[in-house]
Structure 1
Amino acid sequence: MNAVELHKISKTYDKGKLRAVHEVSFKVKKGELFGLIGSDGAGKTSLFRILTTVLLADSGSATVAGFDVVKDYQQIRNRVGYMPGKFSLYQDLTIKENLEFFAAIFGTTIDENYELIKDIYDQIKPFSDRRAGKLSGGMKQKLALCCALIHKPEVLLLDEPTTGVDVVSRKEFWAMLKALKEKGITILVSTPYMDEANLCERIALIQNGEIMSVDTPENIIKSFPTTLFAAKSENIYKLLNDFRSDAKVDSCYAFGEFLHITLKENGGSDIEDLKEFAAQKGHNDIFIQQITPGIEDSFIRLMQEKTQKPTH
């Protein structure tokens, strides 16, 4: 059984002038940790609002925990835990008061489902009398997760939960998600961070409101269709422009301290050809090696293919 299903969901704003999502379809299996990966403005939040029944799609259909997002909105709200990207708890209430409030909304108590949140709540319990507005980013994150879990949901929807949080808190948060998955909760999480894609069992890559690929991170990386090279020199900006002017180069983009390069045709002497071209352009300190692509490289490649695809 699938915990979440979307079939050709589309949504526009401003009387149809602004397209948020276009014919989005994917499925999340029961008990799966699934990632929706895309940059800001890709359409992730619109999809989450549709799945949590706070926004109506223009067309298409979707179900959560087997219930239709339009007809069965009340059943979905009782079975879903939702953590929006922006911290939305009551800033003037304490940690404990926020948790008690959300438990009361769902007709339960902190004690009733304490085992589910224990490992998370115990980390912030010493500060239970501190107002939520005075918490650090990591502590706000943990409190919001506790409030989303207090009614023991079947499906947990987390919209960019680690945005703006330090690296250590991000790592802790994903460890918490893995533990929750082991307890049988289905988790759909969105993130703009490509490195977090590898922490999911399957992912959907989304850009400009359209799904580009749905698969395991490993399979998406394996499907990278060509050889990838990393290059750098003292004048990296000049090197970028020079390689982009080379007729043999298919793509060249900055990636940390390196450039990542693909060629229009792969051959046995690719590295030597690149080095020779760079030397002709005055780069005497050039470093080039073949590398294994990552999720971000695959994402960029899919974006390029989509841009180059002819429209009818």
Structure 2
Amino acid sequence: MKSPIAINDISVKFGDKAILDHLSYEFESGKIICLIGPSGAGKSTFIKAIVGMQKLDSGNVEVLERKIPDREVLGKLGYMAQEDALFKELTGKQNLEFFGSLQGIKKKDLQGKLDKAAATVNLTKQLNQSISNYSGGMQRRLSLAIALQTDAPILLLDEPTVGIDPELRQEIWEELRNQANQGKTILITTHVMDEAERCDVVLMLRNGKFIAEGSPKEIKEKYQVTSVEEAFIVAGKNLELENKGAAK
């Protein structure tokens, strides 16, 4: 079976700066992949490239064996952007219903999926409120619920747990694992390093390059450390030393 997402030598430049620098990677179905890196590393740009919202300077992206951008493929992606794109004049439920129709969820199935997604992010009691009255954290949770309710085989979640309390974050991760076990491919960006420990694969992005990739266990063993956070620091220092050596 071909990779659900194939990244083929993609580059994105903003001016003279390479945000993504000739990246290639093939994703596996049924896996949670964490893309980690400091702010400004290009994590959101990487996800936008997969969705087709970011123009590439070189290379291409294939999703479900179709080159991106492709409008048909969009209906097969559950996408949560870093910035919430919600209709403030509607209630939480109306937002879920509207986006559910765009996602192609059958009307007879929508209520059940909507209820489950809302419960996962602890918004059931607030569904009939206008989201103009939601806090920033509640709007973030609603955006996540919109992505979780879809039948799409691929979830692309940009910083999905920012502003969410630890107890609810645990429940969300349990649901993500459940969906991965059903065969979904899930890509999550985060700068919360302890979340990377929960992933099947960690991709470390820095200076436009993947500086390390593998399971959390493999990465910790490679750098002889006890956490992914320590591995990221060591990998970053190694990269700086390599760059200094190359500059001499």
Work out the percentage of aligned pairs sharing the same amino acid. Answer: 28
Distance 2:56 2:76 in 1: 20
What residue is the counterpart of 1:121 in the other structure? Answer: 118
Q: Does 1:2 align with 2:3?
A: yes
Letter in 1 for 2:142: L
TM-score normalised by structure 2 residue count: 0.89
Distance 2:77 2:23 in 1: 21
Q: Does 1:33 align with 2:32?
A: yes
Question: Residues 89-108 of structure 1 correspond to what in structure 2 (within 5 A)?
Answer: 89-108=86-105
Q: Does 1:82 align with 2:79?
A: yes
Displacement after TM superposition at 1:301 (Å): 1.0
Q: Which stretch shows the higher mean deviation, 109-118 or 86-95? A: 109-118
Question: Residues 211-290 of structure 1 correspond to what in structure 2 (within 5 A)?
Answer: 211-225=210-224
Letter in 2 for 1:79: K
Distance 1:164 1:307 in 2: 32
SS in 1 for 2:11: strand
Higher relative contact order (CA 8 A, sep 6+): 2
User: Relative to total residues, which structure has the larger helix share, 1 or 2?
Assistant: 2
Distance 2:108 2:86 in 1: 20
SS in 2 for 1:303: helix
Q: Kindly indicate whether the alpha-carbon contact (under 8 Å) linking 2:159 and 2:190 is maintained by their aligned counterparts in 1.
A: yes
Displacement after TM superposition at 1:106 (Å): 3.6
Q: Kindly indicate whether the alpha-carbon contact (under 8 Å) linking 1:206 and 1:212 is maintained by their aligned counterparts in 2.
A: yes
Unaligned stretches of 5+ residues in structure 1: 226-291
CA root-mean-square deviation: 2.0
Displacement after TM superposition at 1:144 (Å): 1.4
Letter in 2 for 1:102: F
Displacement after TM superposition at 1:183 (Å): 2.7
What residue is the counterpart of 1:296 in the other structure? Answer: 229
Letter in 2 for 1:218: K
Displacement after TM superposition at 1:187 (Å): 0.6
Q: Kindly indicate whether the alpha-carbon contact (under 8 Å) linking 1:32 and 1:181 is maintained by their aligned counterparts in 2.
A: yes
Distance 1:132-1:187 versus aligned 2 partners, 3 A rule: same
The structure number with the bigger radius of gyration is 1
Unaligned stretches of 5+ residues in structure 2: none
Q: Kindly indicate whether the alpha-carbon contact (under 8 Å) linking 2:75 and 2:104 is maintained by their aligned counterparts in 1.
A: no
Letter in 1 for 2:7: L
TM-score normalised by structure 1 residue count: 0.72
SS in 2 for 1:22: strand
Displacement after TM superposition at 1:5 (Å): 1.4
